[in-house]
Structure 1
Amino acid sequence: MNKRQTRIFAIASTAIASVIFLGLTVDSHRQFPTLTNSDNIDDSVVRGQNVWHNYNCINCHTIFGEGAYYAPDLTKITQHRGTPYLTAFLKDPAQFYNEQTHRRIMPNLNMTDGEIADVIAFMDWVSKVDNQGWPPRPILVAGGSIPGTDLSLTQQSSEGQAEASGLPPGARPVSSDNNPIALGEALFKTAVPTCAACHSMAPGVNLAGPSLANIATMAEDTLKSGDYKGKATTVEEFIRESIVEPSAYLHPGAMYSAGGTSFMPTTYGQDLSDEQIDQLVAYLKSFK
């Protein structure tokens, strides 16, 4: 090409690229309200965003792949954990983890009840944004398999009592004001046989048993389906039934049952007290 042709080509290609860029920009802005569910941004969500910034949560956590990558990504946290769990955790993280026994250093931010409700509302809005699958690999925190121990002492709350119970450090309730969800998490890691040995709480990670990351949603969907023939009518009852009568509903998959009988042990109803089962139910129900 001569200089004149080169100049024309450069101008034309720049013009075409600019038109395409502007078209894509206009189309993106056209889709933003739908992709971000902007209609659901209410006062609570706005206040929650302010709480997120005021407490510098992004200094440790990430959302949409942006942040410090020091602590778990929270983009989809409300789809993994329910409001009761998140509320209890934010009120006092030491009920679940502390630096001495778990090597977790989530501080107690001393949020008010209103701030906790607002930041959860903000995170719930974040979780429903269509972020095209980003981040592709969120940071998840999951405890390892922990040998089972005597559960009769898991109710004891002080550090000295917890040590006396023989519970591994990663499963000890660490606060003197333990709530059912925190105790349920400890039981999940220490029941005999150990629940955590067969079930993962990470989405899509199936071990000897199916992942329980969305057990509350799965339970609700199962109760509405025509396949369920058990006695439960609520999510809580379904989870309890799954613990004490695992064959009442057989999870799809040949690796989980055979001949109409679940491979899950049937001894939890005898080995755990009603109170302990209630704690397990409270913990598992928090996973949506």
Structure 2
Amino acid sequence: MNKRQSRIFAIVATGIAAVAFLGLTFYSHTRFDDLTNAADITPEITHGKDVWHKYNCINCHTLFGEGAYYAPDLTKIAQHRGEAYLKAYMRDPSQFYDEQRHRRLMPTQDLSEVEIENLVKFLDWVSKVDNQGWPPRPILVAGGSLVVASQGTESGAAEAREVRPVRPDSDPRAIGENLFGTAVPVCTACHSLQPGVQLAGPSMAGMAERAAQTIASPDYTGSATDVEGYIRESIVTPSAHLVPGAMFSAEGTSFMPNTYAESLTEEQVDQLVAFLGSMK
């Protein structure tokens, strides 16, 4: 290829790349409203966005991976934690973390109830944006350290995030073990499989024994009569019985998402029950 041919090739290649870039940019702009569910944006959601900026949440947190990276990415937090948890957390974060133990403590912002309500609506809208799978894994907090789900490398508490390898068979317990790490919201966002490691929810280690003790307790308020029934009830109607502890419920509502009855099939719930019932 001589100089003239090289020059022509460079000009043509640049032109093609420029046209492709402009075309993709134009196409993206035509899709933004659908991808972001723009039709669902209400004045409350807009106010929630203003609250996000007013209190400089981005100085610590990130949305869609953009922000300060000091605290977790909150892109999917509304799915991982749920409305009841988020509202209670925003009212008083100190109830969920111990400053001396965890060192990192979210400051109490003294948000009004309206600000909290609308900020949660904004985060819920954010969680439903079609962001092509970003972030690729939930970025969470455990023991005062940032943890990337399924990667047990950043702290001892991160080991609690790991889901044990699935056995290569059709055992419902194996399938349930996989669901524990893949269901939406992902169970590992709040529950550890390690004894004594408490995250946003109680550890699942010893679940079978605790379930039997709970059913036998006079304080039990649910309707289950056996261990499997209690675990199933905890998944599909989590507020039927509230586990004691300020971190697990508020105003008679469990922080456990109540959407699994819709997002999981009956068979999948049975598989999760089989797995959790095997946690001795």
Q: Where on the TM-score scale, by shorter chain, does this alignment land: which range?
A: 0.5 to 0.7
CA contact (8 A) 1:215 1:287 kept: no
Match of 1:63 in 2: 63
Closer, same or farther: CA 213–57 of 1 in aligned 2, 3 Å:
farther
Sequence identity (%): 52
The residue aligned with 1:270 is 216
Cα gap change, 1:217/1:98 in structure 2, threshold over 3 Å: closer, same or farther?
A: closer
Following the alignment from structure 2 to structure 1, what is the Cα–Cα distance between the partners of residues 182 and 256? 6
By how many angstroms is 1:83 displaced? 0.9
Task: Give ranges in structure 1 of 5+ residues lacking alignment.
Answer: 145-199, 219-261
Distance 1:265-1:25 versus aligned 2 partners, 3 A rule: same
Q: Deviations over 1:23-78 (max 9, x none)?
A: 11111112211111111111111111111111111111111111222212211000
Q: 8 Å contact 1:61–1:73 — kept in the other structure?
A: yes
Quote the Cα distance in structure 1 between the aligned partners of 2:73 and 2:94.
Answer: 20
Shift of 1:267: 2.0
Aligned partner of 2:35 in structure 1 is 35
Q: Which residue of 2 aligns with 1:87?
A: 87
Amino acid at match of 2:220: D
**C-alpha separation in 2, matches of 1:81 and 1:98:** 19
* CA shift in 2, pair 1:274/1:46, >3 Å: same
| Residue 96 of structure 1: how far off its partner (Å) | 1.7
Query: 2:87 aligned with 1:123, yes or no?
Result: no
1:14-163 → structure 2 map (5 Å cutoff): 14-142=14-142
Contact map agreement 2:44 2:121 (CA 8 A) in 1? yes
Residue of structure 1 equivalent to 2:8: 8
CA–CA separation in structure 1 for the residues paired with 2:141 and 2:186: 21
SS across alignment from 1:140: strand
Once the two structures are TM-superposed, the CA of residue 113 in structure 1 deviates from its matched residue by: 0.3
Range with bigger deviation, 116-125 or 132-141 = 132-141
Q: Equivalent residue of 1:278, what SS? A: coil
- CA separation of 1:104 and 1:274: change in aligned 2, threshold 3 A: farther
Note the 1:168-247 alignment, pairs <5 A. Answer: 205=163, 211=180
Q: 1:272 to 1:104 in 2, by over 3 A?
A: farther
Q: Displacement, 1:263?
A: 8.2
Change (3 A) 1:102 1:21: closer
Is 1:286 the counterpart of 2:252 in the alignment? no
- Amino acid of the residue matched to residue 69 of structure 2? Y
**CA RMSD after TM alignment:** 3.7
More divergent stretch after superposition (7-16 vs 112-121) = 7-16
TM-score (norm 1): 0.56
In structure 2, C-alpha distance between the alignment counterparts of 1:18 and 1:216, rounded to whole Å: 41
Q: CA deviation at 1:142?
A: 3.7
Equivalent position SS for 1:10: helix
Rg larger in 1 or in 2? 1
Q: Offset of 1:120 from its aligned partner?
A: 0.6
Q: Which amino acid aligns with 1:278?
A: L
Secondary structure of the 2:212 match is coil
Separation of aligned partners in 2, 1:57 and 1:136: 22
Looking at structure 1, the residues matched to 134 and 182 of structure 2 have their Cα atoms a distance apart, in angstroms, of: 19
Q: Which whole-Å deviations, capped at 9, do the CAs of 1:105-162 have from their partners, x for residues lacking one? A: 1111000001001111111111111111222233212469xxxxxxxxxxxxxxxxxx
Checking the alignment, whether the CA contact within 8 Å between 2:73 and 2:139 is kept in structure 1 is yes
Tell whether the 8 Å contact from 2:51 to 2:119 is kept in structure 1 after alignment. yes
After superposition, what is the alpha-carbon deviation per residue over 1:155-205, rounded to whole angstroms, capped at 9, x for unaligned? xxxxxxxxxxxxxxxxxxxxxxxxxxxxxxxxxxxxxxxxxxxxx7x6x94
With over 3 angstroms needed to count, the CA separation of the structure-2 counterparts of 1:268 and 1:67, relative to structure 1, is: same
Aligned length: 190
The TM-score normalised by the length of structure 2 is: 0.57
Distance 1:213 1:100 in 2: 33
Q: Is the 8 A contact 2:242 2:254 kept in 1?
A: no
Residues 19/141 of structure 1: CA separation in 2 closer, same or farther (3 Å cut)? same
